[in-house]
Amino acid sequence: MKDFAIFWGCTIQARFPFIERSVRTVFEGMGLPFKDVDGFTCCPEKSLINNIDTGMWKLTAARNVAVVEDAGLDLVSPCTGCVSNLSTVKGELNADLGEKAEVNELLGEIGREFKGDANMRHLVPFFHDSVGKLEIMKGVKRNFKGMTVGIHYGCHMMRPSHILGVDDPLAPVKFDNLVTMLGAKSLKYDEKLTCCGQGLDRVDQHDKAMYMARLKLVELRNKGADALVLCCPSCFLQFDNNQHLLEREGEKYGIPVLYYTDLLGLAMGYSAKELGLDMHRIKADSFIEKWESLADEPEPSDVINDGLAQDSTFI
């Protein structure tokens, strides 16, 4: 596998350092060749910056792409929004050579050039398509057979679909495949592909953001989900932090929120504390306790065989 730069974005390192810990722990445990590259800034965030100044949005994104291209690396990010934004700008500039030339004229003033050929992937398609099932299962020590989780894709993992082209935006399967290969059951529920609603908090629509969070949490609770699994820091903020606020007001959901690398890291044998689960607002104790109460742990060879048979739709 080619070395790749990891793009953390703003939210993970500023608000959720335990997500960074989780990703680093899994990457290091699997021996994946990731590099920390100096010079990255905010991607930048689309809903705010693009609405204020589209030119600044594109220039900032192009500079970040130029940084990774100068390093001769591909880019992988645990933030769906970052990959969506960077890929969108890359696609638009590559499609408009005049605008690309204008951007490069400005970047030339700081010794950068946007070429537009870096490969950029979010964590889920990266694990699914590049790392692959066999390599993932090599590190698994115990699966999640008997556990039921709700998967939340979020808005930006597959969209804009004409730019990202990583999964079917209306019927995605890759995140499900990554979870079911670990033995967990992916819950079928009506709100699975709806927006988390966190963006509403950014425009002073907190009540509506809470309403969107409540829709999914109520259904997950009613259908007996052991946890919600996602892979986006904004979605994590919505379902962990805002669920905590709802519970402070007396609404009880008790749905632990796990990043994909939390689930994979537990399967690899790392403790909840090593992965930073003790720092989540909604504690994962119920999930861990149920998992530990299940049948005797299978041997690693049994886990691999069981995982390989989980989902014949895995691509």
User: pLDDT digits over 186-217, tens only?
Assistant: 999 999 999 999 999 988 999 999 999 999 99
For residue 313, pLDDT beyond 60: no
Q: Which CATH number fits the domain 4-123, given the four candidates 3.50.30.40, 1.10.645.10, 1.20.1050.140, 3.40.50.10330?
A: 1.20.1050.140
User: pLDDT digits over 51-107, tens only?
Assistant: 789 999 999 999 999 999 999 999 999 999 999 999 999 999 999 999 999 999 999
Q: Model-level pTM?
A: 0.92
User: pLDDT digits over 277-301, tens only?
Assistant: 999 999 999 999 999 999 555 555 4
What pLDDT does 69 receive? 98
Mean pLDDT to the nearest integer, 121-135 = 98
Task: Kindly report the average pLDDT of the chain as a whole number.
Answer: 93
What pLDDT does 46 receive? 78
Domain boundaries, given as residue ranges, for the chain: 4-123, 140-308
Domain 140-308 classified CATH 3.40.50.300? no
Alpha-carbon span 233 to 80, nearest angstrom? 8
User: pLDDT digits over 162-180, tens only?
Assistant: 999 999 999 999 999 999 9
Listed range (21-25, 29-33, 45-49, 138-142) with the worst mean pLDDT: 45-49
For residue 45, pLDDT beyond 90: no
Q: Are 158 and 239 in contact (CB under 8 A)?
A: no
